Amino acid sequence: MNSPFVRTSRRRFLQTALVASALPAWYLEQLRAEEKSTASKSANSKPGIALIGCGGRGQIIAKQASEFGNIVALCDVDSRQSEAAAQKLSGMEQYKDFRKVLERKDVDIILNGTPDHWHTLVNLAALHAGKDIYSEKPLTLTIDEGKMLVKHVKQTKRILQTGSQQKSDARFRLACELVRNGRIGKVLTITAAIGEGPKEGPFTAEAVPSELDWDFWQGPAPKADYTAARCHKTFRWFWEYSGGRLTDWGAHHNDIAQWALGAERSGPITVEGVQLEEMIPDGFTTPSKFRVEYKYANDVLMICTSEGENGVTFIGSEGSIFVSRSQLIASRPEILTEPLPAGATKLYYSDNHMGNFFACVQSRRQPICDAEIGHRSATVCHLGNISMRLGRKLVWNPLKEEFIGDSEANAMCSRPQRRPWDSTHMI
Ligand SMILES: NC(=O)c1ccc[n+]([C@@H]2O[C@H](COP(=O)([O-])OP(=O)(O)OC[C@H]3O[C@@H](n4cnc5c(N)ncnc54)[C@H](O)[C@@H]3O)[C@@H](O)[C@H]2O)c1
């Protein structure tokens, strides 16, 4: 598991690195040209938008979406949350049950800001109600949910953008374009450093706030006593509702790793994950510290780890690149400063993740992070969690999307869903 090569290479790389505070001039020029050629005509009428899940992220994406359409409905199973959103985004009706929102003919677009265990159920119901969707990441709670969702997006011909917004960040795209075009030689190792999850608890049962429908909030998840820690925002550190840090941040950085590899619609062939610390009994249930190693068919080693500076490091035979939300670093200046040749592979261009979604709603072109890409990126994270939970290395077939010769692992590609909230019920 431990790879001394990766550690020493990274140290050496950072000692000689060029830190780019701004994007190189040649790339800015390329972006300006791309912006011109992809600029969409403004829509004649503004679509009606409903936000389902009005927490922290929901409110942010609703604000972004309000530039492109009219928010007409807010929905949350906790009226304090929809009320808080209504204070910020004026003039729309509030709902508790998302199925009522989906009945509205004037709602064209669903923004899905629910916790992970609700993403797929809301998305499936929205697809079959004829809505286009901007759904938060991680797109799914399980691998089987993703397979099902992809199938139904195709069947219904709806547009679905996954909220992995790093795809629309020029720094990440440049790093991926350089890697794809061989600028660092043969890719050897990619490290996605995603930081530690919190380790807290024990938590004890509390009274359910009167404004919250706790049973509805839990939906398909197993019934549990309410504690505030299980609910808003910190739900992501409980296995019942999410996959912890690995899905929370892995959905961003593993997505970038697969983009650079050209494996966005595929995946690794082996996975070996190790939880590095026991969690507190009756506390958060997803690992705070971990290390997961993935092998791809082209022999690339991808490591997703809670250690190190948050960002993605690409190590190749002829140089290295580190990219994060604030930095782009290369081991030799020319890696960044030399323009890519004419005819180089260019990746999908988007400088505004929400804008790209609305442009695609209009044009019916696939968005930059469509359902399959969102599902495959989430799958990388789920594979790591399954390996950690089973405590062994697993062999994955990315074509068939199943583990090879491991019925126990395959059984973990789905989870039991508490009635009446099973996926088949939603379609
Ligand atoms: N793209 C990003 O950078 C980014 C950042 C933060 C969060 N997220 C994602 O956004 C999602 C929400 O995260 P958050 O931090 O906003 O959580 P949150 O707990 O603050 O908000 C979730 C809201 O959904 C509501 N909800 C739960 N079940 C519902 C249902 N069936 N119908 C309607 N509302 C329901 C909850 O009551 C809550 O108000 C998560 O999947 C998270 O991973 C993405």
Q: Nearest residue CA, atom 36 of ligand 1?
A: 53
Rounded to the nearest integer, the mean pLDDT of the chain is 93
How far is Cα 422 from Cα 424, in angstroms, rounded to an integer? 6
The answer to whether the CB of 374 is under 6 A from ligand 1 is no
Q: Which pLDDT score is estimated for 2?
A: 40
Q: Quick one: which atom of ligand 1 is closest to the CA of 247? A: 43
Domains and CATH numbers, the chain: 4-35+169-346+372-426 (3.30.360.10), 48-166 (3.40.50.720)
| 93-118 average pLDDT score | 98
Q: Which pLDDT score is estimated for 68?
A: 96
147 CA to middle of ligand 1, Å? 22
137 CA to middle of ligand 1, Å? 10
Q: List the single range of 44-58, 120-134, 242-256 with lowest mean pLDDT.
A: 44-58
How far is Cα 279 from Cα 283, in angstroms, rounded to an integer? 7
Q: Is the pLDDT of residue 272 over 90?
A: yes
Q: Which pLDDT score is estimated for 91?
A: 60
CB 349, CB 360: distance < 8 Å: no
Q: List the single range of 29-43, 155-169, 300-314 with lowest mean pLDDT.
A: 29-43
Confidence of residue 8 (pLDDT cuts 50, 70, 90): very low
Share of the chain above pLDDT 90, in %: 89
Q: What is the largest CA-CA distance in the chain?
A: 64
Q: Is the pLDDT of residue 6 over 50?
A: no
The answer to whether the CB of 52 is under 6 A from ligand 1 is yes
The residues facing 291 across adjacent strands are: 274, 305
Confidence of residue 425 (pLDDT cuts 50, 70, 90): confident
Helix (H) or strand (E) holding 93: strand 93-95
